[in-house]
A and B are shown apart, each in its own frame.
Chain A
Amino acid sequence: GAVVSQHPSWVICKSGTSVKIECRSLDFQATTMFWYRQFPKQSLMLMATSNEGSKATYEQGVEKDKFLINHASLTLSTLTVTSAHPEDSSFYICSAASSRSLLEDTQYFGPGTRLTVL
């Protein structure tokens, strides 16, 4: 149980285009989803936390107008990188948690999406 999928697993796009990444919890209801970004040889950095049906909470330094997050249902959250530039190239990972798993500090990670902006 507790499987999280991400789509696409990798994407290459031209500078200036927008890219949407989906994160789905396949066998549980995810009341909270987290979006992380990881640059090579660096730690995962939390970008934002989203709760189903409400606006995402962004971490300091993350532009909410550039990284649009929608958590419209208990099994799906999307991250849209708008007007992507080469510096946005990174490994984007989502994680999902149920209200119960959060009490146990447990998050379930998706397999990640590798974005390359040319």
Chain B
Amino acid sequence: RKEVEQDPGPFNVPEGATVAFNCTYSNSASQSFFWYRQDCRKEPKLLMSVYSSGNEDGRFTAQLNRASQYISLLIRDSKLSDSATYLCVVKGQATDSWGKLQFGAGTQVVVTP
């Protein structure tokens, strides 16, 4: 079983609509959670960290559900520029080597005019 699993998509979203997707993780001792964005043939870029209480950054809202071991990302008022692959990233337990991150394979979002 993969440590971090995501629906690969693609999620085809009309411009201005809302899209949401989840990611599940297998290690219940995971400490930190992130969403990264990766454009085609580019490096991943940090979109936002995910906190237990849930957090919002503009049109992006992230939620963490520790009991069910999933995190979610919601994008409101989608823009064409939101088209990308969104990577769910989890840091393992504290005893892991510093900075070791586990990446999901990504969820592709395609925003259409």
> Do A111 and B106 touch (CB < 8 A)?
no
Q: Does B99 contact A (CB under 8 A)?
A: yes
Interface residues of A in 96-118 (CB under 8 A from B): 97, 102, 105-107, 109-112, 114
Q: Determine the chain A residues whose CB is within 8 A of the CB of B42 once the complex forms.
A: 111-112
The interface residues of chain B lying within 8 Å CB-to-CB of A36 are: 103
A57 interface residue (CB < 8 Å to B)? yes
Interface bin, chain A: 20 to 34
Among A34, A41, A57, A112, which residue has its beta carbon within 8 angstroms of that of B43?
A: A112
From known contacts A43-B87, A112-B43, infer whether A107 and B101 are also in contact, taking CB-CB under 8 Å. Answer: yes
A46 proximity list for chain B (CB < 8 A): 100-101
B16 close to chain A: CB less than 8 A = no
**Once the chains bind, are A97 and B43 in contact (CB under 8 Å)?**
no
Q: B32 contacts which chain A residues (CB < 8 A)?
A: 105
Q: Is A43 a contact of B105 with CB atoms below 8 Å? A: yes
Chain A hits for B54, CB < 8 A: none
Q: Which of B34, B43, B98 sits near A93, CB closer than 8 Å?
A: B43
Residues of A that sit less than 8 Å from B by CB: 32, 34, 36, 41-46, 49, 57, 91, 93, 97, 102, 105-107, 109-112, 114
